[in-house]
Structure 1
Amino acid sequence: MKILNLFFTLSFILSLTISAQTDISEDFEMPTPNLPWFADDSFIDTHQANPLQNTDNNSGYVLIYQDIGGQFANIGFDYTPTFDLSNTHEFSLKIYVPSTSITGNSPNQISLKLQNGNLAAPWSTQTEIIKPIVLDQWQTITFDFNTDNYINLDPNSPPPSQRIDLNRLLLQVNGEDNSNQVTAYIDDFSFTSNDGGNPGEPVFNEIVWQDEFNYTGPVDDTKWFHQTQLPNGNSWFNGEIQHYTNRIENAEVSNGTLKIKAKAETFTDQGVTKNYTSARLNSKFAFTYGRVEIRAKLPTGVGTWPALWTLGQNIDEDGGYWDNQGFDTTPWPATGELDIMEHWGDNQDYVSSAIHTPSSFGGTVNTGGQNVNNASTQFHLYTMKWTPDFIRFSVDGVTHYTYNPAVKDDSTWPFDLPQYILFNVAILPNIESNFTESSLEIDFIRIYQEENLSVDDQEIANTIKLYPNPVNHTLNIQSQTPVKQYYIYNTLGNLIAEEDLKNNNINVSQLSKGFYIIKLVDQNQNIHTQKFIKQ
């Protein structure tokens, strides 16, 4: 979601309008920091008394970072969605390193590293800027990946300004791969980015729907529907030879991931016997425009065909969730289809994306793909950005196809109406004879749309009101339909509180001052999103 300075005044907040500016700031004055700082092979305290309070830095509290000899010691935080470096931007911080804290002969420097935290080896594609520091005094250091010299650990990585996968920031003092010790004090960290380099291009920065699969058992039936009805007489389309079932044997959530398992087994359903089973899930959420992120690991085996994709909510396909809800007005491909990821087991490390419209469908010409190493042994981030003007597909931040037809009409662009998500693993007739089972494993799906940052907090359909707002201690909820659960997010999109709602109020006294998003789930499973300010 759009990042705001977390300590602006109330009068400014109430007059807030959407701008092209993205700001993150951290001054460490509060016991609980705004950012989710962590330490790796080091010690960190985000609320330490300033040991050198002077005109260069008169703050009362700062962050202390102690490298006590860790080989790759660093501190950092993860950031949602990603750092936008495509336009004017700057990272800034104050740092003080006492000379008495240093051992060894490492260079006096600070490194700011950006990584893709979704990779199994996040450092493998990192980009880094190194700046010298002066000991025994507070100083301000800035980092700009457009103007400063940067180092790509992988020389094949694109320039940082072209990447959309950088979601982890690390700070490292006096180098790495050593056992030297150093203590650093850090204050007034900030990141400022001008998102206005592409006028008119939407910034999808608020999570509107997600499943983190942090439960155990069948899929959440408030979010997912098992599509099992054979739509083409006694079979599925495209020559697929499996039954899709609603059994936990074919779709199960465990250990933080969803497993859609294709199996070789004899199974009879709807009077038809087949030799393979799998699962096909429809989301009970449909949306128009946004960014979809799916972190997934793919199955293996010639004849397997996993897909992460969308169809128009209006599709006329008997047995589909939205068809059952009465939205079935339009045949395929006039509904449009967006294939975020398709993978064929006979081309193991190649994934592709495709667009199906009346102008080109089936063996569509509107397709592109890329090689993805370890597609079936490591998780990768599959992303689609869908705007009113173009649709872009990428893997781990690397774009492989953009659809932007010169003429947008019903034939080329049926993409101004809602689409819904599908996950499935199909089995094709060329399946290997020794195939037994293999799974499509999904860590999460997150859908982002543009955030309306008006803080008027008008009632949603006149059904829900929050008060007082701003709030110090107790946030009350007034609703015509009983609210059952709540989820509170900070402005980085991080979930910081979730619980069943009791007595229509929430104790927020432990939250730091700032701006928060609250999602309320009523007894009908409707989701309402509002904003509140903690004073």
Structure 2
Amino acid sequence: MTLNNNRLHSMARLAALCAGVLALAACGGSDDTAAPPPVSSAPSPAPAPAPAPAPSPAPTPAPTPSPAPAPAPAPSPSPAPAPAPAPAPAPAPAPAPAPAPAPAPAPAPAPSNAPAGYTLVWSDEFDTGTLPDASKWVYDTEANATGWYNNELQYYAVARAENSKISDGKLVITARKERLTTAKDYGGQDYSSARLITNGKVSWTYGFFEIRAKLPCGRGTWPAIWMLGSTGDWPAGGEIDIMEQVGKNPTAIEGTIHTTSTAGTFGDGGETKINDACSAFHNYQLTWTPESLVIGVDNKPFHTYANKHQGSASWPFDKPQYLLLNLAIGGDMGGSVDDTIFPVSMEVDYVKVWQKK
């Protein structure tokens, strides 16, 4: 029982102490701690609890400002519509192959002066090389050492451009005042020239022969276009002088036939006049058939020698003959020489031979 009273008494003191502490806290008590009141032996009645202070009204919270509305996003530009692909162009039609060019027509042949029914069988137009074509021509030098016939004064040179060459589509045979003393067959001549022949290369029996040439002028020159028998016998083989001219009488063109029957004479011949023989080209022509020899210039016959059928002495012309082109100086026909004319030339544009089909 005593224990209980002591216990009760302690509890009362504890309660009073707690009430004081509470009151002090409610009044905002001072920093100095008050001395506890003296403990009474009788418990003090518990003071009425201090009314809880009225809670301060909670301040009205300031309204939260509405956030500025986010700007409306700019509308995304509508993507430009992709252009419709252009339709693929239709493939160009393959070009038609160009037609092969028509071959250039062959140049028309130069008009022929040959009689109807004749065919060209041989020619030299002197369009290639620098010297005469060795497959067609031979240099005749047979009498250089002993001196040429008819008291001629020239030395005939071989393959020497100073005396025979191809130039501008022409054969040029040139005579010069010079002594070729180093030549093995030199015969003391004071002049040089050239003599070209087809002997051993080609010869003909019958046909139409045309040689287009320009002749030299000047006293002492003696150009010739002529033919000799291939047998080598003279006069038995015959001689046909298609053209002879001498510088002392340059407009006179002669055509002559030599045979055994005319030996010892100047032959059987004729003459025509060509005023520009030394400055222009002319066509010197021979028509040879079994019945006659007809010599002319530019399609104008001026001498005819007929076959009288009296044998070979007067008509050896049923056998082959070869052609000669030469420029002699002086001699029985050329006469005295004017040395101021040198060098002097005969030019030949072409030589053509036709025969009957």
Superposition TM-score, scaled by structure 1 size: 0.44
Deviation at 1:216, TM superposition (A): 3.1
Q: Distance in 1 between matches of 2:242 and 2:350?
A: 14
Q: Give yes or no for the alignment of 1:450 onto 2:356.
A: yes
**Rg: which structure is higher?**
2
**Cα distance, 1:271–1:447 mapped onto 2, change above 3 Å:** closer
Report the equivalent of 2:141.
228
Q: Give yes or no for the alignment of 1:388 onto 2:301.
A: no
Deviation at 1:272, TM superposition (A): 2.4
Report the equivalent of 1:345.
247
Q: What SS does the corresponding residue of 1:272 show, helix, strand or coil?
A: coil
Q: Distance in 1 between matches of 2:319 and 2:258?
A: 15
Q: Distance in 1 between matches of 2:268 and 2:217?
A: 25
Question: Could you tell me which amino acid in structure 2 is paired with residue 391 of structure 1?
Answer: L
Greater RCO, CA 8 A, separation 6+: 2
Q: Deviations over 1:279-330 (max 9, x none)?
A: 0011121111001010000011111100000101110xxxxxxxxxxxxxxx
State which of 204, 209, 222 in structure 2 corresponds to 1:305.
Answer: 222
Task: Report 1:195-234 matches (<5 A).
Answer: 203=117, 205-230=118-143, 234=146
Deviation at 1:79, TM superposition (A): 2.6
Q: Distance in 2 between matches of 1:235 and 1:402?
A: 33
Question: Could you tell me which amino acid in structure 2 is paired with residue 358 of structure 1?
Answer: T
Segments of 5+ residues of structure 1 without an aligned counterpart are: 1-29, 38-76, 85-194, 196-202, 316-330, 452-535
Report the equivalent of 1:282.
197
Q: Distance in 1 between matches of 2:156 and 2:244?
A: 18
Deviation at 1:31, TM superposition (A): 5.7
Question: Could you tell me which amino acid in structure 2 is paired with residue 309 of structure 1?
Answer: W
User: Which of the pair is proportionally richer in strand?
Assistant: 1
Question: Could you tell me which amino acid in structure 1 is paired with residue 111 of structure 2?
Answer: Y
Q: Deviations over 1:248-271 (max 9, x none)?
A: 110000110000101111222325
Q: Give yes or no for the alignment of 1:376 onto 2:291.
A: no
Report the equivalent of 2:328.
426
Q: Deviations over 1:357-406 (max 9, x none)?
A: 00003533410010012101100000101101100011001110010042
Q: Deviations over 1:448-500 (max 9, x none)?
A: 0122xxxxxxxxxxxxxxxxxxxxxxxxxxxxxxxxxxxxxxxxxxxxxxxxx
Task: Report 1:90-109 matches (<5 A).
Answer: none
Question: Could you tell me which amino acid in structure 1 is paired with residue 353 of structure 2?
Answer: I
Segments of 5+ residues of structure 2 without an aligned counterpart are: 1-100
Report the equivalent of 1:243.
155
Q: Is the 2:113–2:299 contact (alpha carbons within 8 Å) kept by the matching residues of 1?
A: no
Question: Could you tell me which amino acid in structure 1 is paired with residue 176 of structure 2?
Answer: K
Identity %: 38
Report the equivalent of 1:336.
238
Q: Is the 1:295–1:442 contact (alpha carbons within 8 Å) kept by the matching residues of 2?
A: yes
Report the equivalent of 1:73.
none
Q: Is the 1:264–1:435 contact (alpha carbons within 8 Å) kept by the matching residues of 2?
A: no
Q: Distance in 2 between matches of 1:242 and 1:215?
A: 28
Question: Could you tell me which amino acid in structure 1 is paired with residue 221 of structure 2?
Answer: T
Q: Is the 2:290–2:307 contact (alpha carbons within 8 Å) kept by the matching residues of 1?
A: no
User: Which of the pair is proportionally richer in helix?
Assistant: 2
Q: Deviations over 1:165-219 (max 9, x none)?
A: xxxxxxxxxxxxxxxxxxxxxxxxxxxxxx6xxxxxxx4x211111010013111
Q: Is the 1:356–1:362 contact (alpha carbons within 8 Å) kept by the matching residues of 2?
A: no
**Cα distance, 1:417–1:302 mapped onto 2, change above 3 Å:** same
Q: Deviations over 1:50-90 (max 9, x none)?
A: xxxxxxxxxxxxxxxxxxxxxxxxxxx843345x6xxxxxx
Q: Give yes or no for the alignment of 1:79 onto 2:111.
A: yes
Q: What SS does the corresponding residue of 1:267 show, helix, strand or coil?
A: coil
Q: Distance in 2 between matches of 1:272 and 1:292?
A: 34
Q: Distance in 2 between matches of 1:362 and 1:340?
A: 20
**Cα distance, 1:396–1:362 mapped onto 2, change above 3 Å:** farther
